[in-house]
Amino acid sequence: MKLKRWHIWLGVAISAVFLYLAFRKVDFALVWQYLKGAQWSWVLFGLAFYFVGVLLRAWRWQVLLNPLKRLPIRRLFPVVAIGYMGNNVYPARAGEVLRSVLLKSKDQVDISGSLATIVVERLFDAIVILGLVLLNLRQLTGMPAAAEWVGSIQKGAVIGSAVFLLLLLIFLAMVFFPARTQKVSAWVINRVVPARLRAPLSGIVARFITGLSSLRSPIETLKVLLLSIAIWTCETGLYWGVMRALGMDLSFMTLMLLNGVVNLVLLVPAAPGGLGTFDAACKAMLILFGIGAEQALGYTLLLRAALWVPITVLGALFFLREGFTLSTDVGSLKERYADENKPAAGGETPADTQEDLTK
C-alpha cells in the first residue's frame, strides 16, 4: 500500500509503546519455562476450531456477495485467507482491499460492491465483539484489581455499540431506500466534488449500494448475524486451546470476554497484525483475571503465534497460487482494476444507475 511515511512511523511508535507495556516487569526465564512446557496438541485442537471459523467467514461472505455474483465457498476460502495474510503483513489492514482486488481480477466482481460487503462484515463483527464484552463484563466486577477498569470498559463498549449500530442503521437505510440515497449522494457530489470526478464517484456509490443488497432479506441478514456469532465462538476456541496448552483454568465465557476486549483494543492503529496492542491488551486482561505476569505473557505469545503464523502462511501460499508475489504493491493492484468506476463512452449515466436501483 502507498502510505505516507508518517502513517507508518506512527503505527510503529504506537506498537513500540504497547510492546514496552507488554514486556515490562516480567521474568523472561519463567516465561520460557511456561512455553517449553506447553502441550502443543491442545494448540492444534484450538486451531481446528479457528479454521472452522475461517470457513464460516467464507460462507458469510458468500451470502453477502450473492447479489453481485454467486461464487462457491471453495473459491472464497482462499481469498479470505489471503485477506488475513494481507492484514498481518501489509499496513493499514490492506488485506480488505486485497480481497476485493482479487475478486475483480479473477472473478470480475466490482471492487466497490465487494468492498461494501466487507464493510458489512466488519459492522457485524463489531456488534458481536461488543456483545461479547457487555454480556460477560460482570465476570470482572468481583475482582478488586479490575474494579477501576470495569467502568471504563463498559463505557467504551456502550459507546462503541451505539456508534456501530448507528452505522448499521445508515447502511440499512441505503439498502431499503436506494433511490433516495442516490438522490442525496448525487446532490452532495454535484455540490462538493470537482466535475471530472462526479461520474466515477456516482458509479462507486451505485455499486456500493448494490453490494449492500443482500441485507434486503431479513432471512439473509439473520443468517449473517448467526454466522458472525459462530465465527467469534470458533475463534474463542483457539483461545481455549492455548489456555489448556499452558495448564490455565479460565471459563469459556471469560475467554470470550478476553477475545472481545483484545479485538476492541486492536482498533487502535498500530503496526501490521496489531503488534504490541494485541500483546499488551491480552496480558493486561489475564492479569486482571488473576493470572501471573509471566504465565499471562507466555499465553499471549503462544496465542499470537497461533493466530498469526498458520493463516499467514496459508494466505501467502494462496496468494502465490493466484499469480502474485509478496512484494506486490496492493495499491497499484487496486489502481489497475479500478477502471470499473470510469464511465464508459456512451455507457451508463448516474441517472441510468438510479433508475436501475429503483427497479
- Nearest-5° Cα angle at 123, 117 to 124: 90
Rounded to an integer, the average pLDDT of 164-173 is 74
Higher pLDDT residue, 98 or 141?
98
- How far is residue 231 from each of residues 71, 72, 128, 266, 336, measured CA to CA in Å? 20, 19, 10, 17, 33
Question: Helix, strand or coil for residue 275?
Answer: strand
- The number of angstroms, rounded, from the C-alpha of 325 to the middle of its chain's C-alpha atoms is 23
Please state the domain extents for the chain.
5-357
Is residue 300 within 8 A of residue 279, CB to CB? The reply is yes
Give the separation between CA 278 and CA 304, rounded to whole angstroms.
Answer: 8
Is residue 283 within 8 A of residue 300, CB to CB? The reply is yes
CA-based nearest residue to 308, from 238, 230, 217: 238
Burial 204-221 (b: 16+ CB within 10 A, else e): bbbbbbbbbbbbeeeebb
Angle, helices 277-288/252-265, rounded to nearest 10 degrees: 140
User: For the chain, how many residues are written?
Assistant: 359
The pLDDT of residue 261: 85
Give the separation between CA 241 and CA 259, rounded to whole angstroms.
Answer: 13
- How far is residue 28 from each of residues 124, 245, 303, measured CA to CA in Å? 39, 19, 17
Q: Examine the pLDDT at 1 and tell me if it is beyond 50.
A: no
Higher pLDDT residue, 261 or 84?
84
Q: Examine the pLDDT at 142 and tell me if it is beyond 70.
A: no
Q: Examine the pLDDT at 315 and tell me if it is beyond 80.
A: yes
Q: Examine the pLDDT at 189 and tell me if it is beyond 60.
A: yes
